[in-house]
């Protein structure tokens, strides 16, 4: 009897509600444990997690910004020495404190409140020089922010600093005279790709929340692929080019580089918008000589922008999607690297099919001719474009060079680029009579756009439908893995389709190659002009289904 009574007493002490057997036991209801407050960890931290922590009061903007600065100090010049950041803003902490005061006073959270951004150092800021990676421009101080930087700041973003790049955005090695060779965040014996090399390595290593790169022929997508990031090259006329050091104005565009699709969607919400500047590149049509759009209404009608890219994301977007696979862009599998890329790609396609997508092979008509006949126009445009950019503001205060010739003659850049400047210098001046330039300026976009639309619409050469239209076409972003440090990756020519057509392309992690350490493999989706919302939705759905990104091992929480 005593044993039974003892068991009953213990039960009464543990129970949250009174039972009749308890007699005179305490009848107070025990409240449930409170839900844990949201916390923010900078490594792999997302915008949504940051805003939840700010709202809960478990962190401050000043603490967040300081932590990212501490990570740069610990891992960029010390530790793994990634060499990914050229400069940290001297005003970022002041801006963070101002934001903390604003939130404390009851102001609403902005869409990019306290979101730290690293800009590729060919994007203008009024409070930091824009060097394009070259010592020749180390003190070049633009008078105002690039249009897209103004848009970011207006939504609460904090420009944390400037990221290293392949000097003047020339190539894929990822080295500059300003900061040296960027290293891959996953393996410091490997290269990061380029030209947005520093942005890629820094965001992969969580030195900031998001980054911006620029892409003329692959310079967002190549480093994003090698660093396990989501990187979006927008439609050519969507994002203003004002305030960006040019490589080729008819191919250049800026775009986000992020660890998650949803963060890239939020950044895109800020980047898009009508710019009245004569340097916006927002033309009425894809023709190179078309007039600029004349109003915000005309811009919105042309681009058919959604109210918000982020609001349209859906984890189930792959259900019912039609994915076209361009097998001709997968490589021949003859190298170990390409075989590894193909294995990861095929596994990703199986996961898309398992998520409800119809995955079928598709052929781009005339693909071999497209990739062999046409070329980038940077050789014909860089000299004139750089002079136009450098002469767009007075050098009275900063004494910056104001022409391509002055920069070239300074020799204040990497020795390896002396021949590059000589090559580009041979195309200075009027190129209107250059037949090859005109071929790539006029014929190339017409031919490539028509071929890609035929593939996307799933039509044969006679215009007869071969089945349902494709939402996107997919292929490996590049054909190899991260290369040896100081060399360029085996990129292939897949990255040309987007700049040659003006259509948008998004790269995202497909998965990790079975290497030691594991290295990321990028999957590129290409869609119709201004179909960024479709690319982001399908990428988000795959991300939620497959969780393909893995963080690098060498830059953990401090």
Structure tokens at 257: 């580089």
Beta strand 519-526 pairing with 358-361: unpaired
Length of the chain: 558
Cα gap 244→141, rounded to integer Å? 13
Q: Would you state the pLDDT for residue 285?
A: 97
Over the chain, what is the mean pLDDT? 94
CATH class name, domain 47-378+433-546: alpha beta
Contact 169, 433 (CB under 8 A): no
Please classify residue 554 by burial: count the beta carbons closer than 10 Å to its beta carbon, then call 0-12 exposed, 13-18 middle and 19+ buried: middle
Cα gap 149→146, rounded to integer Å? 5
Q: Does this model's pTM top 0.75?
A: yes
Q: Where are the domains of the chain?
A: 1-27, 47-378+433-546
Residue 254 has pLDDT above 80, yes or no: yes
Q: Who's near 106: CB < 8 A, 6+ residues apart?
A: none
Residue 14 has pLDDT above 70, yes or no: no
Please say whether the dihedral angle defined by the alpha carbons of residues 146, 152, 155 and 158, taken in this order, is positive or negative: negative
Tens digits of residue pLDDT in 180-227: 999 999 999 999 999 999 999 999 999 999 999 999 999 999 999 999
Q: Would you state the pLDDT for residue 122?
A: 98
Q: Would you state the pLDDT for residue 18?
A: 34
What integer is the mean pLDDT of 118-132? 98
- Kindly indicate the confidence band of residue 36, based on its pLDDT and cuts at 50, 70 and 90: confident
- Kindly indicate the confidence band of residue 11, based on its pLDDT and cuts at 50, 70 and 90: very low
SS3 (DSSP) at 314: coil
Residue 9 has pLDDT above 70, yes or no: no
Please say whether the dihedral angle defined by the alpha carbons of residues 74, 265, 506 and 344, taken in this order, is positive or negative: positive
Q: Would you state the pLDDT for residue 37?
A: 82
Express as a percent the part of the chain with pLDDT over 70.
94
> Nearest CA to 101 among 143, 159, 54?
54
Tens digits of residue pLDDT in 401-416: 999 999 999 999 999 9
> Nearest CA to 457 among 446, 469, 472, 471?
469
Please classify residue 196 by burial: count the beta carbons closer than 10 Å to its beta carbon, then call 0-12 exposed, 13-18 middle and 19+ buried: buried
Query: Where is 256: in which H helix or E strand?
Result: strand 253-258
Q: Would you state the pLDDT for residue 308?
A: 98
Residue 249 has pLDDT above 90, yes or no: yes
- Kindly indicate the confidence band of residue 34, based on its pLDDT and cuts at 50, 70 and 90: low
What integer is the mean pLDDT of 456-472? 97
Tens digits of residue pLDDT in 347-387: 999 999 999 999 999 999 999 999 999 999 999 999 999 99
Would you tell me how many other CB atoms lie within 10 Å of the CB of residue 420? 18
Please classify residue 547 by burial: count the beta carbons closer than 10 Å to its beta carbon, then call 0-12 exposed, 13-18 middle and 19+ buried: exposed
- Kindly indicate the confidence band of residue 120, based on its pLDDT and cuts at 50, 70 and 90: very high
Cα gap 22→8, rounded to integer Å? 7
CA angle 388, 389, 393 (to 5 degrees): 100
Axis crossing angle, helix 261-271 with helix 532-546, rounded to the nearest 10: 160
Q: Who's near 447: CB < 8 A, 6+ residues apart?
A: 366, 370, 374
Cα gap 166→196, rounded to integer Å? 7
């Amino acid at each position: 009897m005593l044993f039974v009574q003892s068991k009953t007493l213990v039960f009464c002490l543990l129970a949250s509600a009174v039972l009749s057997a308890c007699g005179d036991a305490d009848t107070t209801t025990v409240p449930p444990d409170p839900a844990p407050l949201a916390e923010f960890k900078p490594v792999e931290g997302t915008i949504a997690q940051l805003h939840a922590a700010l709202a809960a009061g478990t962190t401050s903007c000043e603490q967040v910004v300081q932590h990212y600065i501490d990570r740069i100090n610990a891992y960029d010049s010390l530790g793994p020495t990634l060499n990914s950041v050229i400069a940290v803003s001297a005003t970022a902490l002041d801006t963070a404190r101002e934001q903390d005061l604003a939130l404390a006073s009851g102001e609403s959270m902005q869409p990019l409140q306290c979101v730290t951004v690293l800009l590729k150092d060919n994007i203008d800021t009024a409070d930091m020089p824009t060097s394009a990676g070259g010592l020749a421009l180390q003190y070049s101080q633009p008078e105002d922010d690039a249009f897209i930087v103004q848009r970011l700041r207006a939504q609460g973003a904090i420009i944390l600093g400037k990221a290293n790049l392949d000097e003047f955005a020339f190539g894929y090695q990822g080295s500059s005279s300003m900061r040296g060779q960027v290293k891959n965040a996953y393996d410091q014996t490997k290269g990061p790709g380029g030209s947005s090399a520093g942005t890629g390595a820094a965001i992969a290593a969580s030195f900031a929340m998001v980054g911006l790169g620029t892409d003329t022929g692959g310079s967002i997508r190549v480093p994003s692929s090698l660093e396990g990031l989501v990187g979006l090259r927008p439609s050519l006329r969507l994002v203003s080019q004002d305030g960006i050091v040019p490589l080729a104005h008819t191919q250049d565009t800026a775009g986000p580089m992020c660890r998650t699709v949803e963060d890239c969607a939020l950044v895109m919400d800020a980047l898009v918008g009508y710019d009245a500047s004569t340097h916006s590149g927002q033309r009425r049509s894809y023709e190179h000589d078309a007039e600029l759009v004349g109003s915000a209404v005309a811009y919105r009608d042309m681009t058919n922008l959604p109210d918000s890219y982020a609001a349209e994301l859906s984890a189930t977007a792959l259900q019912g999607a039609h994915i076209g696979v361009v097998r001709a862009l997968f490589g021949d599998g003859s190298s170990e690297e390409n075989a590894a890329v193909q294995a990861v790609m095929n596994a990703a396609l199986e996961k898309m099919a398992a998520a409800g997508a119809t995955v079928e092979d598709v052929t781009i008509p005339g693909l071999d001719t497209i990739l062999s006949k046409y070329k980038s126009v940077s050789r014909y445009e860089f000299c004139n474009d750089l002079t136009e950019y450098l002469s767009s503001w007075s050098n009275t205060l900063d004494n910056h060079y104001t022409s391509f010739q002055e920069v070239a003659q300074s020799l204040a850049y990497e020795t390896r680029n002396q021949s590059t400047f000589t090559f580009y210098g041979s195309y200075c001046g009027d190129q209107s009579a250059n037949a090859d330039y005109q071929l790539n300026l006029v014929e190339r976009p017409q031919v490539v756009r028509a071929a890609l639309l035929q593939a996307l619409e799933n039509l044969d050469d006679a215009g007869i439908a071969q089945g349902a239209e494709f939402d996107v076409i997919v292929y490996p972003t590049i054909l190899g893995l991260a290369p040896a440090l100081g060399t360029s990756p085996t990129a292939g020519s897949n990255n040309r389709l987007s700049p040659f057509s003006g259509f948008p392309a998004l790269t995202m992690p497909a998965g990790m190659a079975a290497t030691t350490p594991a290295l990321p493999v990028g999957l590129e989706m290409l869609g119709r002009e201004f179909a960024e919302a479709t690319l982001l939705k399908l990428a988000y759905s795959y991300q939620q289904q497959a969780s393909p990104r893995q963080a690098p091992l060498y830059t953990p929480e401090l």
